[in-house]
Amino acid sequence: MNFKIVLIIAFFLLCSRLDAYSQDSQDTDSAKYTKFLPDYVKLQFAGGIGFLSLGLGYTFFDHRLDVSFFYGYVPIFISIDDLHSVSLQLTGKLIRIKVNEDIDLLPLNIGFFIHHTFGNEYWISLPSHYPDEYYWWAPGRNAGLFIGGEIKTKLLSDKTPASGTAFYVRVGSRGLYIASMFGNSAIPLSEIIEVGFGVAIYR
């Protein structure tokens, strides 16, 4: 999966939103601008994209798809070097169960993410001192899949402009880990699993 493809998909999704807004002629100017604001902010713990990751993003198709952009940080007490990274995460929410007026349960979210760590050693396109196709992967371009669940509540909705707060869990792995395990029984599944959880505050 190429970064470019992901960016193109993200661009088209954004365009579809802009299109919808421009047809909404009753909007005042300020309301129009508000609509460009992200639909939510997320704070995620672990999940392979940072010790803590701060994200923002938009929802599409009646809250069935979240497209989130994360900045992730791994502090020096976790790793020998601190790590800064960005990732783009697409979460599809397949099932929504309305528990009551205040709580929605989303038991089956599936997602895709692409993750880039900053630093010269984490190159995306093969540096020029290698012949073509010398390495087939790129350390700066890690993609993976995950599955998860979410509880959407009205928490914070009465005292803040937020419409609600969601809590989510995701369990996933990434291509390079799956490739490592493939054909081997010596690597237990738990070794390649990346668990993370987070909170999302919706506007």
Partner 1 sequence: MEQLRMKISKILILFALLTITACDGLFDYSPYVIDYSGQNKSVNQKNIKKLFSQKIDDTTIIALTGDTHRFYDETVDFVKAVNKKSSVDLVIHVGDITDFGLPKQYEWANSILLKLSSPYFVVVGNHDLVGNGSTAYKEMFGAFNYSFIYDSLKFIFVNTNSREFKFSGNVPDINWLEAQLQPNDNFTNAVVIFHVPPMDGDFNSSLEQAFHNTLTRYNNVLFATHGHLHHYEIYKPYNDSISYINVYGVEHRKFNIIKITNNKFEIETCEF
Binding site for partner 1 (CB under 8 A): 45-51, 72, 74, 78-81, 83, 85, 102-103, 115, 117, 119, 121-122, 127, 129-131, 135, 137, 139, 142, 151, 153, 155, 158, 167, 169, 171, 174, 176-177, 179-180, 182-187, 190-191, 193-197
Shortest CB 115 distance to partner 1, Å: 8
Shortest CB 60 distance to partner 1, Å: 27
- Of 40 and 58, which CB lies nearer to partner 1 in the complex structure? 40
Shortest CB 92 distance to partner 1, Å: 22
- Of 9 and 105, which CB lies nearer to partner 1 in the complex structure? 105
- Of 59 and 142, which CB lies nearer to partner 1 in the complex structure? 142
The whole-angstrom separation of Cα 42 and Cα 138 is 27
Q: What are phi and psi of 51, to 5 degrees?
A: -65, -50
- Of 96 and 154, which CB lies nearer to partner 1 in the complex structure? 154
Type of residue at 113: F
- Of 50 and 111, which CB lies nearer to partner 1 in the complex structure? 50
Shortest CB 57 distance to partner 1, Å: 20
